[in-house]
Amino acid sequence: MRLKDKVAVITGGSRGIGEAYVRRFAAEGAKVVIGDLLDAEGEAVVRSLKAEGRDAVYVRTDVTKKAQLEALMETAVSRFGGLDVCIANAALADYGDIMDTTEETFDRVMAVNVKGVFLTDQAAARRMRAAKRGVIINIASTVAVVGDNYEGCYPSSKGAVNLLTRTFALSLAPYGVRVVAIGPGPTRTKMMEDAFNDPARLKSIQARTPLGRPADPSEIAGVAVFLASDDASYMTGHTVYVDGGRLVLNYVMPERD
Amino acid sequence: MRLKDKVTVITGGARGIGEAYVRRFVEEGAKVVIGDILDQEGAALARSLGAAVRYVHCDVTKEAEMSTLMDAAVSAFGGIDVAIANAGIVESGSIMNTSDAMLDRMLAINVKGVFYTCRQAAERMIAAKRGGVLINIASTVAVLGEVGEGCYPVSKGAVTALTRVMAVELADHGIRVVAIGPGGTKTAMMADATPGSERMKRIEMRTPLRRMAEPEEMAGVAVFLASKDASYITGQTLYVDGGRLVLNMVMPERA
C-alpha cells in the first residue's frame, strides 16, 4: 500500500483511464474523491470500491465551473480531512481534420481540456499551498508534442496542458507542492475502441508503436502511483510520456510476422 | 518488495548514486551484481549487504570485462532482468581546454561504456527470451549547455540517443530501455556545494525545489522504471531535476 490514507481527487474518474487511476489509488490505500459528469458510472465505481472495503465518494463536477471545483476540493477536505493528490484527468476528444473543427468544438475542447485543468489545478493548489505539501498530476498526451491529422484541436489542448504543468510547478515549488503530467499514448478505452477495432487503424498504430500494442489503462495508472509517491519527490514540471516508445521512433517499425 | 528476485547488474555501484541504486534494489528484493573499478569500496558494500549482492571488477570501456560481469550475474543468479548503466566520470573547466585525451576518456567511459552495458545485457536477455529493462544514466545537461563542465554534457546527450536507439531496436524482444536524467545530487562529486556556498546559491537559484537531490531520490525512480508499473514506458529519459529544465529564468529571491 504505497498511498495509504492519502486523499486523492480525480476528475473524469468515472470510466476509462480515469477509472483505472481511481481503482489503483484505492488499492494502494488512498481515499478517493471522483469528480465527473457521468453520475451513474461514477456512483457505480464508488459502490464497487465500497464493496471491496475501500473509501470513496462521487461528486458531480463540471470542470469548466470554478464553483463546482471548489465544492469538489472541499468535499475531499471535509470528508477525508485534507488533499494530498489531485489528478486533472477530465477531457474531451475531437475527431477529424482541424480544418473542419468548428468554433463551437474548439471553445468546448479548450474549456474542458485547458480551462478545466487550470481551474482544477488552482483549486487544488490553493489548499496544498496552505498545507505546504501535495502533488498535482495533469493528463497530457503524446500529441502534446507531435501533430496528428485526425484529432482536430485535441493535440493543441494537450500542448497547453504541458505548459500549465510547467507554470504551476514553478509557482508551487517554493511550497513543496509538485506538479507533473502524464502523456499517455494509445490506450485501450472506449474513446479508442473504434480505432482498435478497425484493422487498418490498428495496423498503423502498431507500426508506429515500438512495443507493438496499445497500453492497458492499468499501465497508465501505475505511473500515476509513482508520481504521487515519495519515489518521485525530486520530480516537478515534467511530463512523463507513457507511449510504448512512440515519441522516440523515427519512421515505422519493421513489419512483424 | 517490488523487485523480488529480479537480477540487476549495476555499473559504478560502489559509491555515490550507484550505491543508492544498489541499496534500494536490495531492499526491494532484487539480487544485485555490482560492476566497478573501485574494488575495495565495491567489495565492502557487497559484503555488508549479504548473499543477495556480488561484486565484480569491471572496467566498462572493455567489452570483455563487461561480458564477464554479465556472465557472473547469470551464473550467480540465473539470468539478468535489469541492468543500470551508471558508471560515469565528470570533467570541470571550459570545453575549449578539453584535451584530446580527456575527450577520448569521457566518450570511452560515459558513452562506449553504456553501449557495452546495454549490448552485453541485451544479448543475454534476448537469448533467455524473458525480456528485461535497461536503465541508462544521463543528466539534465544532456539537453542543456553548461559553462564549466567540459565535454561531460556531450557524453550525456549521447546517452539519451543511445537509449532511444536501443529502445526501438529491442522493443520486439520485450526489452524496455529508459534513462534517468538526474539534476544536482548530493554525492562526493558535489562536495563543494555546502550550505551557503557560492555553488549552492547558484544551484538553488536555478532549481525550483531549491535543494539538491538525495541519491535515494534517484533510486526511487530507478525502482519505478524497473518495475511493472513502467511497462509501457520505453525510449524516454525521465528528468529528476527538481524542476530545473522547465524553469526559464531564475527563481525569485527567498523572502
Residue B96 has pLDDT above 90, yes or no: yes
Q: CB–CB of B220/A231 below 8 Å?
A: yes
Judge: A240–B235 Cβ closer than 8 Å, yes or no: no
- Chain B: give the shortest CA distance to residue A179, in Å: 9
pLDDT of A193: 83
> What's the pLDDT band for B190 if we cut at 50, 70, 90?
confident
- Chain B: give the shortest CA distance to residue A19, in Å: 17
Is the minimum CB–CB distance between B217 and chain A shorter than 8 Å? yes
Q: In what order do the strands lie in the sheet with A239-242?
A: A56-60, A31-36, A7-11, A85-88, A134-139, A177-184, A239-242
The amino acid present at A49, given as its one-letter code, is L
pLDDT of A73: 98
Q: Which of A212, A232, A240 sits opposite B220 (nearest CB)?
A: A232
- Chain A: give the shortest CA distance to residue B155, in Å: 19
The CA distance from B96 to B110, in Å, is: 19
Is the minimum CB–CB distance between B143 and chain A shorter than 8 Å? no
> What phi and psi values does residue A126 have, to the nearest 5 degrees?
-60, -40
| pLDDT (tens digit per residue) in A58-78 | 999 999 999 999 999 999 999
Q: What residues of chain B, 1 to 60, have a C-beta less than 8 Å from chain A?
A: none
The answer for B233, left when phi > 0, alpha when psi is -120 to 50, beta otherwise, is beta
Q: CB–CB of B218/B17 below 8 Å?
A: yes
Helix axes A190-197, A199-207, angle to 10 degrees: 100
Judge: B223–A231 Cβ closer than 8 Å, yes or no: yes
Helices (H), chain B: 16-27, 39-49, 63-77, 100-107, 113-128, 152-170, 198-205, 215-226
Distance (Å) of CA B86 to CA A156, B158, B168, B180, B252: 37, 14, 21, 10, 34
CA pseudo-torsion sign A207, A213, A161, A175: negative
What residues of A are annotated to the active site?
154
pLDDT of B192: 86
Residue B255 has pLDDT above 70, yes or no: no
Q: Which three cell numbers stand for residue B77?
A: 543468479
Judge: B209–A253 Cβ closer than 8 Å, yes or no: no
| pLDDT (tens digit per residue) in B136-189 | 999 999 999 989 999 999 999 999 999 999 999 999 999 999 999 999 999 987
Sequence-distant (≥ 6) Cβ neighbours of residue A212 within 8 angstroms: A206, A244, A253, A256, B171, B172
The proportion of chain A whose per-residue pLDDT surpasses 70, expressed as a percent, equals 100
The CA distance from A5 to A247, in Å, is: 35
Q: Which of B168, B228, B247 sits opposite A248 (nearest CB)?
A: B168
Q: Are strands B53-57 and B31-36 parallel, antiparallel or unpaired?
A: parallel
The residue assigned the cell 487550470 is A118
| pLDDT (tens digit per residue) in A134-181 | 999 999 999 999 998 889 999 999 999 999 999 999 999 999 999 999
- Based on its alpha-carbon atoms, the radius of gyration of chain B, rounded to whole angstroms, reads 18
CB-CB neighbors (< 8 A) of A256 in chain B: 172
Residue of B21, B152, B232, B239 marked active site: B152
Is the minimum CB–CB distance between B209 and chain A shorter than 8 Å? yes
pLDDT of B159: 98
Residue B254 has pLDDT above 80, yes or no: no
Round the average pLDDT of chain B to a whole number and report it: 96
Segment B198-225 mean pLDDT: 96
DSSP secondary structure code for residue B60 in this structure: T
* Stretch (H or E) spanning A159: helix A154-172
Sequence-distant (≥ 6) Cβ neighbours of residue A221 within 8 angstroms: A17, A20, A21, A23, A24, A25
Q: Which residues of chain A have pLDDT under 70?
A: none
Burial class (CB in 10 A: 0-12, 13-18, 19+), B111: buried
Judge: B229–A173 Cβ closer than 8 Å, yes or no: no
Q: Which three cell numbers stand for residue A124?
A: 487544488
Judge: B234–A234 Cβ closer than 8 Å, yes or no: no
CB-CB neighbors (< 8 A) of B243 in chain A: 169-170, 173, 236-237
CB-CB neighbors (< 8 A) of A27 in chain B: none
Distance (Å) of CA B242 to CA A172, A230, B24, B246: 12, 13, 20, 9
Instruction: Select from B24, B32, B34, B33 the least CA-distant residue to B2.
Output: B24
Sequence-distant (≥ 6) Cβ neighbours of residue B104 within 8 angstroms: none
Q: Which of B210, B232, B245 sits opposite A219 (nearest CB)?
A: B232
Chain A residue closest to B250 (CA)?
A: A170
* Stretch (H or E) spanning B179: strand B175-182
pTM of the model: 0.96
Q: What residues of chain B, 84 to 113, have a C-beta less than 8 Å from chain A?
A: none
Provide ipTM, 2 decimals: 0.93
Q: Which of B236, B246, B247 sits opposite A241 (nearest CB)?
A: B236
pLDDT of A256: 82
The partner residues of B202 in beta bridges, in order of sequence, read: none
Burial class (CB in 10 A: 0-12, 13-18, 19+), B94: exposed
Is the minimum CB–CB distance between B213 and chain A shorter than 8 Å? yes
Chain A residue closest to B251 (CA)?
A: A170
pLDDT of A192: 81
The proportion of chain B whose per-residue pLDDT surpasses 70, expressed as a percent, equals 100
Q: Which of B172, B217, B236 sits opposite A234 (nearest CB)?
A: B217
The CA distance from B254 to B159, in Å, is: 35
The CA distance from B75 to B78, in Å, is: 6
- Three-class secondary structure of residue B209 per DSSP: coil
Residues in chain A: 257
Cα A52 to its chain centre, rounded Å, is: 24
Q: Which of B213, B214, B243 sits opposite A237 (nearest CB)?
A: B243
**Count of A-B CB contacts under 8 Å:** 129
Judge: B243–A222 Cβ closer than 8 Å, yes or no: no
Instruction: Select from A240, A176, A241, A254 the least CA-distant residue to A208.
Output: A254
The CA distance from B40 to A99, in Å, is: 66
